[in-house]
Structure 1
């Protein structure tokens, strides 16, 4: 007689969870590959944003255009990059909405990843040949990639796992992403000096190809779960307006407060990011050195994230629900910004940056994503994607210019404003919890979805 795997300790519970839920292994591998591919390239993006070599970032004509109007791009690098990113998000959101509305899941999910793989091959050519302006193009691309690819991932996970399963397994899936986020910077630090930046694009493309394989495997469980519930299958187009996601956010209180929380969370990160970029620009003039520094920072973030995910995330979500996971990061950020407002030392900026990002990845993000297991697919694929793209980058755009305005008064003023932003983030989390309490239980929601499926079948 075979013995069941031991459930003692985090690794024993993880082995037992793999036995209880076969799709968990594919979801684990999926998120590992996704974040490995992203974090191979993230240090390149950070180095581009902090670079003093304007010619490598912006096209020559763009440099001449701004210089002729008395606005040297060297002084507005991040502001211009974030503004362009937001504009691209506005253009792409209807495109994504059209894909979700008109094509079934088996079509638009591989198309999204296929597009990113093809563009990575293009960037290989651009970096290999040293085309001017490649930095701006890459900065914009990887920002779009991170938001859309991760948004699609979590929306898809809500199709595969129920709310109960999400609370039990999202911590493990998040840990898989953290492991991938470890592997990516290690690869970059190890090989960027010998193979150059261009070849990093090919490594990332390889990871994304593995993501497509995992996606196709997980689709089988997503279809089976929907058939068991008798709901409308995700293999059919959703229909509806291509801007339905934004309209849902305006109409639904839960989505509005989720958007508020995301905007102020982005504000906290953007203020820290810009201060960190100023420090890097001052102390690191070589692109490879600044890339290595950002890779080290990513490793520190991911180390703390992994510890929290393995020891606390599953425990908090399973036993106490999403409240602690949403409120603890807010309290930690308030404490961090209070310290920075009093003593804005470069080392302290790095420490608060690590704590802020780690708490978002290990606690707040998995907690928010469990909410999507209790709502309809249109909320997940349309409203969820709109929040993670247009709303997210709208916050980026707002606070990157807020930072530019406040930076002239010194770092203490920046972090004093950040303390107010962190308080608004925590208030948004509290209001989100109040709205989440109004959601039907998983059983009630499943019954209503089954009735909806019967009406439309």
Structure 2
């Protein structure tokens, strides 16, 4: 009975939130479709990264190049993929900076999603024809898609919702995304055996098309909020330097500690990811079977994420601020890595992977994103995107090679080092909270002349 009453209470709070904030339903649909579209494809990406078939993953010219130099390319699959991903991010960061500087929100947001929809149609042809090297191309593409599309989403939400609204609603929005993240791997697991990988590209393209409709609708509320609070309009080009995001990270302590927290958080995930990939490579030789395995893992992650989002995220953030949501994941990861350092069993690796990713999605990510509601557009769209792309992938690159070094000493050495990384992540979160406490109130930040953080 008490469980039923609790469920009714949560449903009542959600219904009240929808009545208070009409744009919330569009934000729900937007994030639901965004993560549905991504998670339809994520198991494909994971299967490509863990594949032992180098002809499927790498272009023939690259395989021949490494063979001439006496290197077995299959032994460096993830290291090569992560290095190329980082290099692509370095190239795309100024392109993105130019886009958000020179074009208004109503232009660059649809352009970002339109680009990804168009390239999905290209990948349909690539997978349908079985083109060699498709694994590497898709792995790089979806990594860029995940970071840019999700970064743009949360930056846009900070245009639509105030800080107080973010603390109340971001948990709900995150839960809508988690439901979409349930649906995505479920569709993949159900369909991949019968329709094949190529047709999954079309399924994802449909979800992203709905995202475009939602962002066009939400733009109306973003404009209204900016007018009511006399904020700088997102309907005007932002201006500023193409590399302003990276310069802001170097200059501003809050952004620096946010970047530190992200780098160490990426390190934790990368160490786990590489150990898991090694296990999958030994256990599965069929790409469809590996895809189904990763889909199952994603379902477990999203199940735990949804439970936390519906039961804890809103409660913690609305009553206690962002501190618990930022610190709890670090402590949970420290416990998990302590267990793995003592006993790195494959099943325990999977369990800690689930806990690590779920705590990031349900607690740490929404907490970090509320900070952007109290700063200016250049911090949100430029610095925020730089942290989520170049900084994020720089951490990936560093730790994927560190893992290669540490793995020579065995799994226990990997996880013992991971304990230090998790400690660094927790320390970064603590310092970020100290800087966040120095931010002006939302009332003050609404005046662009009142603080450099609000200047756009």
Match of residue 23 from structure 1: 23
**1:449 — aligned with what?**
448
For 1:148, the equivalent position in structure 2 comes to: 148
Per-residue CA deviation, residues 319-368 of structure 1 (Å, 9 max, x unaligned), is 00000000000000000000000000000000000000000000000000
Runs of 4+ in 1 over 6 A off after TM superposition: 450-453
The equivalent of 1:135 in structure 2 is 135
Once the two structures are superposed, what CA deviation does each residue of 1:116-159 show, in whole Å capped at 9, x if it has no partner? 00000000000000000000000000000000000000000000
> What is the rounded CA distance, in whole Å, between the counterparts of 2:178 and 2:198 in structure 1?
24
CA distance in 2, matches of 1:197, 1:41: 9
Deviation at 1:450, TM superposition (A): 6.9
Q: Are 2:216 and 1:216 aligned?
A: yes
After superposition, the CA RMSD in angstroms is 1.6
Give the whole-Å Cα distance in 2 for the aligned partners of 1:258 and 1:317.
18
Question: How far apart, CA to CA, are the structure 1 residues paired with 2:445 and 2:107?
Answer: 27
Residue 412 of structure 1 is matched in structure 2 by: 412
2:63 maps to: 63
C-alpha deviation, 1:247, in angstroms = 0.1
Distance, in Å, in 2 between the alignment partners of 1:451 and 1:131 is 56
Alignment of 1:21-420 (within 5 A): 21-420=21-420
Quick one: distance in 2 between partners of 1:351 and 1:7? 27
The answer to whether the 8 Å contact 2:377/2:455 transfers is: no
Offset, 1:231: 2.3
Equivalent-residue separation in structure 1 for 2:404 and 2:50 (angstroms): 15
How far apart, CA to CA, are the structure 1 residues paired with 2:448 and 2:358?
A: 35
| Cα contact 1:166–1:373 (8 A) shared by 2 | yes
d(CA) in 2 for partners of 1:162, 1:193: 45
1:230 and 1:420 mapped to 2: Cα distance? 45
Q: Is the 8 A contact 1:230 1:450 kept in 2?
A: no
Q: Deviations over 1:249-281 (max 9, x none)?
A: 000000000000000000000000000000000
Structure 2: segments with no counterpart, 5+ residues:
1-5
Alpha-carbon distance in structure 1 between the residues aligned to 2:61 and 2:278: 25
| CA separation of 1:391 and 1:155: change in aligned 2, threshold 3 A | same
Cα distance in 1, alignment partners of residues 445 and 108 from structure 2: 26
Q: TM-score, normalised by structure 2?
A: 0.97
Q: Which residue of 1 aligns with 2:3?
A: none
**Post-superposition offset of 1:232:** 2.1
What are structure 1's unaligned runs of at least 5 residues?
Answer: 1-5
The 2-side partners of 1:192 and 1:11 are apart by 34
Stretch of structure 1 that moved more, 226-235 or 376-385? 226-235
Change (3 A) 1:452 1:323: closer
Change (3 A) 1:406 1:7: closer
Query: 2:409 is paired with a residue of what secondary structure?
Result: coil
1:178, CA displacement in angstroms?
0.3
Q: Is contact 2:38-2:204 (8 Å) kept?
A: yes
**Structure-1 separation of matches of 2:7 and 2:56:** 53
Match of 2:432 in 1: 432
Displacement after TM superposition at 1:445 (Å): 1.6
After the TM superposition, which of the residue ranges 27-36 and 10-19 deviates more from structure 2? Answer: 10-19
- Give me the whole-angstrom Cα distance separating, in 1, the residues matched to 2:443 and 2:400: 43
Whether the aligned pair in 2 keeps the contact of 1:231 and 1:452 (CA below 8 Å) is: no
Q: Paired residue for 1:3?
A: none
Q: Tell me the matched-pair count.
A: 450
Change in Cα spacing, 1:15 to 1:402, as seen in structure 2 (3 Å) is same
Q: Is the 8 A contact 1:186 1:295 kept in 2?
A: yes
Please state how far the C-alpha of 1:444 moved relative to its aligned partner: 1.9
